[in-house]
Amino acid sequence: MSIHIEAKQGQIADKILLPGDPLRAKFIAENFLEDAECFNTVRNMFGYTGTYKGHRVSVMGTGMGMPSISIYARELIVYYGVKKLIRVGTAGSINPDVHVRELVLAQAAATNSNIIRNDWPEYDFPQIADFGLLDKAYHIAKELGMTTHVGNVLSSDVFYSNMADRNISLGKLGVHAIEMEAAALYYLAAQHGVQALGIMTISDSLVNPEEDTTAEERQNTFTDMMKVGLETLIAE
């Protein structure tokens, strides 16, 4: 048992999906996993373990932002031995060619956070995905016929940013979307020698706002990233 996760040893699989929304974790467990059992309710950050196509898999919410995912991902890695971690969350497009409901695989994550810079002030330490997971996820998504973009995202510390126009301008440099967790997850993976990937569904667009979705749609209907995430976790 760790500080924020009440699971006993052995209750969490060595591969896990990490949605930000704990209710999305519940949705995944109820709709994709067999014999799912809840292993965490602390702070209503629900976590479940079950089987997917005969493979033992877990799913757990992480909350919003890099400080929150850093707590849960670190405890999962250090205390529970998780080796493969895939974030399945939402992101806002800043590229006119990246549309709502399409997938973004975060090959790398730029960030305006100091969470990495505090440890490495003399370097711009790059936050990159595990290539093995990235390669598998891309081919799985393409085989399933899903519109999928691979590239850079911005992991922001601020949702309601006073630098919105500046952030949007990153789209001209090939950055696909803004989200709030991937950079911290990738940094933790690098620190502990585990595999991590961010698979995001575009839920809204800063450049095409007429495409935006509702909160209920974001919680319950973005199943493409869930399917790709699960298939990637169990792929050999």
How confident is the model over 97-153, as pLDDT tens digits? Answer: 999 999 999 999 999 999 999 999 999 999 999 999 999 999 999 999 999 999 999
List residues with catalytic annotation. Answer: 204
Give pLDDT < 50 ranges for the chain.
none
Q: What is the pLDDT of residue 219?
A: 67
| Length reported for the chain | 236
What's residue 211's pLDDT? 84
Alpha carbon 218 to chain centroid, angstroms: 14
> How does the average pLDDT of the chain come out, rounded?
95
pLDDT of 236: 86
User: Does the annotation place 20 within a ligand binding site?
Assistant: yes
47 annotated ligand binder? no
Is residue 205 marked as binding? no
Q: How far apart are CA 96 and CA 232, in angstroms?
A: 28
Q: What is the pLDDT of residue 217?
A: 76
Question: What span, in angstroms and rounded, lies between the C-alpha atoms of 25 and 47?
Answer: 7
Rounded to two decimals, the pTM is: 0.96
Q: Terminal CA-to-CA distance of the chain, rounded, Å?
A: 30
Sequence-ordered strand ranges (E) for 94-166: 103-111, 148-155
Task: Quote the pLDDT of residue 163.
Answer: 85
For residue 216, the model assigns a pLDDT of 78
Please report which residue ranges of 144-210 form alpha helices under DSSP H: 164-169, 182-192
Is 180 annotated as a binding-site member? yes
In this predicted structure, what is the pLDDT of residue 164? 84
Does the annotation place 43 within a ligand binding site? Answer: yes
Residue 204 marked as a ligand binder: yes
Residue 92 among known ligand-binding residues = no
